Chain A
Amino acid sequence: MGLTACGGGNATTNNNSNNNSNATATINAAIGKVFAPSTKKGGTLRLANSGDWDSLDPADTYYGYSWDFIRLYGRSLVMFAPKPGSAGLQLVPDLAQSLGVPSDNAKTWTYKLRPGLKYEDGSPITSKDVKYDVERSLDKDTFVNGPTYFNDWLDVQGYTSPYKDSSADKLGLKAIETPDDTTIVFHLKQSFGGFDYFAMLPATIPVPQAKDTGIKYKEHVISSGPYMFQSNNLGKDFTLVRNPKWDPSTDPNRTALPDKITVQLNVNADDIDNRLLSGDLDVAIEGTGLGTAAQGRVLADQNLKAHTDLASLARTWFAVINSDVAPLDNIDCRKAIEYATDHEGYQRAYGGSVGGDIATSLLPPQIPGYQKSDEYNFLGKPNGDTDMAKQELTKCGKPNGFEIGVSYRAERPKEKATAESLQQALARVNIKLDIKPFPLADYAKLYAGKPDFAKSNNLGIMIYGWGADWPDGFGFMQQIVDSRVIRAAGGNTNLGIKSPVVDGLVDQAMAATDTAKRNQLWGQVDKAVMDTAMALPGVWSKTLLYRPDTVNNVYVNDGLGGFYDYAWMGVKS
């Protein structure tokens, strides 16, 4: 099947295999390179979502696809480079002229805005507007959805919300200074070398205070990007059109190819797949890939298969081996589980190689700092090493095995299949698993994520998964391996990885301002976690994206976590 790309691409899209006018659809054509490069403007990009946004408000959004899509109508201080492959992991300035300049041992970060920035109404964008949106994002009574990085790291000194701010300009937060209209200075409570990642968050997208309507601001976000809202029917659909005040000379990171972007919400997921396959839809916005029904059809048809991209997500499916539950307080008993697991069985539970690769540690390979390791020889013995498992059982004084529970999230059939695979595999060395499903919504709050519950219910293995907020060691690892985030009350993201060695390395990594050094330290954290045998890695997740003939200038952006780069995509007219 031939695809005609329009135009020859520009500097960043140049690529040996695809810089031609007759790009042919092939498998993974948009992984690591731009497929059908184009600079031709025009047309309507049609997207659909099987659910709905948490919020379109930059202060109130935490969904991965939202952080990708929001760049069409909002510009934050910095962003991930619009480049395929690992080049996309680099941060580049967006509103700012350069990446942040650290001082005071990385407790203070300064950014200067580019000149000539304007909102959709033509009014100038100032550093005060950036500060105002960060202030808004701190208000978790009003904006409950967004992340809490600024709440946790800025030296807020009790500041909670611009809506409770008694100062006239509502800019009373002392942790952020705006000495002039183009300069913004952030003051942190403690040193943090990776602050540029915070500056990438949608909360640094400017909001003009005069136009702020609080909860209702999401109904009409004032655009600072290439597109603005033409209509917005909450829960149903919305349409973006060109923002005439967006000046491409201030923005090297966006192509703004389509004239119009339409988004339909709450569309039946199978219907989305059918529409993609028939060319009646350009993008399934959630980036979760084809559903089971469509996947079967696509993989069986070479022509359809040529339109797929198997994208790596910054997500690992894994299980926590709970050292609170006897006899797993003994590391050798934990190691017996590592060895006895059928890793191909774990992978099969997630759909085989389409679902991802067998994981040998927690950190996904595309995240900077990853160091290849396979401490328990998962790849050498993909169905498990029962001899080694038996040896470890003997070492921990349980040569005849033991009995524990394995928990999973009831609504997730893949986790159920994982539990069953583990049950079968571990039975080979007389480790008997009692399978216990729990409701997804309360899994972390009341069950697996509540230490006393997990212990008293004998949950020795807790099936789990984690995706990075952004692809770096901190974004992926800190919340799931730092033992100091574990709270007795429950609601934990770290289900039970507890090691002073790991904690010490986490501290070192967080303080490091040198990127290479920091990445290396996160790699060491990953290795140290495997040394504890408290984590049983399963699958480094992948997703099968479908790229219809209707789109061009397409690539998967690793910085955005495995989504197509929506700010670059165009449509064939």
Chain B
Amino acid sequence: MAGGPGPPATGAENAVVRYIIRRLLAAVVLLFVVSIVVFGIFFYIPRLAGATPDDLASRYVGKTDNAVQVHERAVQLGFTDPFYVQYGRFAKGILVGADYNLGPTTEHCPAPCFGYSFITHNPVLPELLDRLPVTMSLAVGAALIWLFAGVATGVLSAIRKGSVFDRAAMGVALAGVSLPIFFTGLLSLAVFSYGLHWTAPGGSFTPLENNPVTWAYDLILPWITLSFLYSAGYARLTRAGMLETMGNDYIRTARAKGLPESTVVLKHGLRSTLTPILTIFGLDLGLLLGGAILTESTYSLPGIGKYAVDAITNNDLPKVLGVTMVGALFIILANLLVDLLYAVIDPRVRLS
């Protein structure tokens, strides 16, 4: 891992490694807390509110209302055990794996086992991993577009403040922030996919490794829609930051030294504006990797966000827990990455 520019290699690298280890340990603690909170919301709070184990289990017996069957299901799902036993079983699955009864045979779910869906009986982790490429393709592709489009628009607007471009760009940006994705998404599908047949219909996804061109073709509409929403914010943020920075003394000094305008704007102006943008970018990307819920739902993309919505709709706790853990992990990792990148962008920041 590269440290900040300049300092002696070994010392800086050690500091960086120590920092990363410390942050990762903190992440483990945080994930533990997140899992207890989510587990508590689903299992403990309903019990406090008076729901019996059978009441909880009644959601997982299909359409039947047979009381004996419901009770058997409650026992089978472990709802009749005390809360700490239930949580212990979940934690044990994560650490050493678990066994699951398929009927004629038993299946071993290796660690880390996030459990099996209460509804479909499928193991959660393979399903999550299966959906991860969809969400990553969507989030990373859109993030690249909005970062470049948003920042470029912001910079241009700032250096041409008050121009027609500035006004038009900020107007469009306002529309981007204001229009919900389920509106722009469905509208663009109706126009570009079903009307003009330029883009792929909803629900299309081809893995990158199968065919990169089809992969991009399938995702271009979701990318643009999603980045439209985000670039708007980034453009406004960049514009405001640039306007403030470009008025600083050191910019005047740089200009006085006779530096080319592009160097002044990009190296001296934009660089310091980027720090807060990077912070937001890390958070946004982390959140999206944990599931771009609205975009995936609108475009019927089988990603983690859609998976989360379906899980919540069905009260499918193991799935919800799995998604929450993955989402939390991504946010933690994205933040860590951003903190490390600060040092690259801004030499004033020291990691330790």
Contact = CB atoms under 8 A, between A and B. Distances in A.
Interface string B265-307: 0000000000000000000000000000000011110100011
Interface residues of A, number: 48
Given A441-B315, A442-B55, A271 B105 contact: no
A271 B300 contact: yes
Contact of B59 (A48, A214, A441): A441
A414 interface: no
B54 to A, nearest CB: 8
A52 interface: yes
Given A139-B103, A163-B103, A274-B186, A491 B70 contact: yes
A444 B65 contact: yes
A62 B63 contact: yes
A493 B62 contact: no
Contacts of B299: 268, 271
Nearest to B59: A441
Interface stretch (B157-165, B172-180, B187-195, B240-248): B187-195
Nearest to A271: B202
A148 B64 contact: yes
Given A268-B298, A275-B202, A234 B122 contact: yes
B250 to A, nearest CB: 51
B294 to A, nearest CB: 10
Interface string A211-227: 01111100000000000
A374 interface: no
B311 to A, nearest CB: 10
Nearest to B201: A280
B120 interface: yes
Interface in B284-342: 297-300, 302, 306-307, 310, 315
Interface string A447-461: 000000000000000
A235 B104 contact: no
A412 interface: no
A264 B203 CA distance: 8
B225 interface: no
B194 A214 contact: no
A512 B81 CA distance: 47
B210 interface: no
Contacts of B101: 141-142
Interface residues of B, number: 45
A446 B190 contact: no
Interface in A264-288: 264, 266-268, 270-271, 274-275, 277-278, 280
Given A52-B310, A266-B306, A441-B59, A492 B65 contact: yes
Nearest to A146: B62
Nearest to A469: B63
Interface in B25-82: 51, 55, 58-67, 69-70, 72-73, 76
Given A145-B62, A274-B194, A280-B201, A266 B103 contact: no
B127 interface: yes
Contacts of A441: 59, 315
Given A52-B310, A274-B189, A267 B67 contact: no
B252 interface: no
A147 interface: yes
B55 A446 contact: yes
A140 interface: yes
Contacts of B66: 140, 148, 151
B115 to A, nearest CB: 14
B18 interface: no
Contacts of B67: 487, 489, 491
> Which of B66, B101, B104, B298 has the most chain A CB atoms inside 10 A of its CB?
B104
A375 interface: no
B121 interface: yes
B310 A214 contact: no
B302 A213 contact: no
Main DSSP-derived SS at the A contact region: loop
B1 interface: no
B102 interface: yes
A266 B63 contact: no
A268 B60 contact: no
B55 A445 contact: yes
B104 A213 contact: yes
Nearest to A277: B194
A189 interface: no
Interface string A146-167: 1110010000000001010000
Contact of A266 (B58, B61, B302): B302
A294 to B, nearest CB: 10
Contacts of B58: 442, 445, 491
B91 to A, nearest CB: 24
Contacts of B194: 274-275, 277-278, 280
Nearest to B105: A214
Contacts of A493: 65
B275 to A, nearest CB: 38
A54 interface: yes
Of A142, A212, A215, most B-chain CB atoms within 10 Å: A215
A492 B302 CA distance: 36
Interface string A131-149: 0000010011110111110
A161 B76 CA distance: 15
Nearest to B204: A264
A446 B56 CA distance: 11
Contact of B62 (A144, A444, A492): A144
B300 A147 contact: no
A140 B69 contact: yes
A445 B61 CA distance: 12
Contacts of B73: 140-141, 144
Nearest to A216: B102
A236 interface: yes
B102 A268 contact: no
Nearest to B300: A267
Contacts of B193: 280
Nearest to A487: B67
Contacts of B62: 54, 62, 144-146
Contacts of B64: 140, 144, 147-148
Interface string B190-226: 1001110000011100000000000000000000000
Contacts of A446: 51, 55
Contacts of B298: 268, 271
A434 B194 CA distance: 47
A441 B201 CA distance: 33
A163 B102 CA distance: 10
Interface in A10-59: 48, 51-52, 54-55
Contacts of A161: 103
B185 to A, nearest CB: 8
A278 B120 contact: no
B120 A271 contact: no
Contacts of A280: 193-194, 201
Contact of B190 (A163, A235, A264, A274): A274
Task: Specify which of B66, B119, B186, B202 lies most central, judged by the most chain A CB atoms within 10 Å of its CB.
Answer: B202
Contacts of A489: 67
A402 to B, nearest CB: 30
Contacts of A236: 302
B235 to A, nearest CB: 28
A277 B194 CA distance: 9
Given A163-B104, A446-B55, 16 more contacts: A54-B119, A140-B64, A141-B76, A144-B60, A147-B64, A213-B103, A215-B121, A216-B102, A236-B302, A268-B299, A271-B298, A274-B186, A274-B189, A274-B194, A278-B195, A444-B65
Interface of B: 51, 55, 58-67, 69-70, 72-73, 76, 101-105, 119-122, 127, 186, 189-190, 193-195, 201-203, 297-300, 302, 306-307, 310, 315
20 contacts: A62-B62, A139-B103, A141-B73, A144-B69, A147-B64, A148-B69, A214-B102, A215-B103, A235-B120, A235-B302, A235-B310, A266-B302, A268-B186, A271-B298, A274-B189, A441-B315, A445-B65, A491-B58, A491-B67, A491-B70
